[in-house]
Amino acid sequence: MDIREQQQPEGLCLLLYKEREMVGECLLAAPGPQGAHIARFRVEPAWRRRGYGTYLMRQVLRRTGGFDRREASLHTAPLPGGEGALAFAARFGFAVRDGQLERRRAPAPSAVGLTHEFLKQRLGAGAVCLDATCGNGGDTQFLCELAGPSGRVLAMDIQQQAVDNTNARLAAAGLGGIGRAVLADHARLAEYVQPGSLDCAVFNFGYLPGADHSLFSTEATSLPALEAALEALRPGGVLAACLYSGGPNGSGEKEAVLRWMRALPLTGYTVLVLEFANWADTAPLPCFVLKNV
């Protein structure tokens, strides 16, 4: 099977072929990266109930962002005739709303995304931040954009590839004057930042995406790094950490960090652990430590 595109006056038509025979079509009015209006959807009668409609609809949704968990999407279609057509649409998440079919998807939450949303509420222009596990630079870039030209961001990682990737990312985004990455073990972060100087310290534990997964953080260095980060925070500062388990690093680091956080004295710190309650036990945990005094 293959999909052929044909531009028509009404919009973009996706034609489904099996060898040389057209077996189905879908006309998309105003297709975009996060949705479309499905003006017409049809499978030839001789080819129905054989999986071709399912294949065509999946291709439609895939090409218009319907399976992208990171972005919101909206697909609409006229109400079809017959219970069978309605049942088919319902299999793909369409529901009847305001006289038409509608498939609305919101971005799926992620540990990193929720961490960023939390930090946006507490940090602003001029912030001084540390990304203690910079990886490919996603958190570092976020912190630079949040801190702005009057802020400063230091990033560190034990892998040269991560440092190079982060500095290249900052340069490409025009943020090299705000942040920089250095090759260093986060357990030594006290050598790079002064006590009481940080508004925020971010940790994203685990391994470097796209690199050797046998290299990952462990509690042996992570706990000293977290201790040093608390010392480096000013009163009112926040430490953010995403904890992972179930991968090559197992659950030892996650459990050790949680024990450490829960043992912090209430007089000095407020600890928040955000749990995905109906996800697997290995779901990532966004955690926050607020320094009170």
CA 240, CA 112: separation in Å to the nearest integer?
10
Find where tokens 């004057």 sit: 177
Average pLDDT, the chain: 91
Characterize the bridge pairing of strands 95-97 and 73-77: unpaired
pLDDT at residue 214 above 60? no
Q: Which domains does the chain have, with CATH numbers?
A: 2-105 (3.40.630.30), 111-291 (3.40.50.150)
Q: For the residues 26-30, what does the mean pLDDT come to?
A: 94
Residues 80 and 175: their CA atoms lie apart, in Å, by 51
Say yes or no to pLDDT of 95 above 50: yes
Asked whether 15 and 1 are in contact (CB, 8 A), the reply is: no
Instruction: For residue 48, give every residue at least 6 positions away whose Cβ sits within 8 Å of its Cβ, in sequence order, or none.
Output: none
Closest Cα to residue 82, out of 73, 74, 70, 90? 90
pTM for the structure as a whole: 0.73
- Residues written for the chain: 293
pLDDT, tens digit (0-9, with 9 covering 90-100), for 49-90:
999 999 999 999 999 999 988 889 999 999 998 899 999 999
Whole-Å CA distances, 92 to 62, 79, 101, 173: 12, 14, 11, 38
Q: From CA 29, how far away is CA 180, in angstroms rounded?
A: 46
% pLDDT > 90, the chain: 74
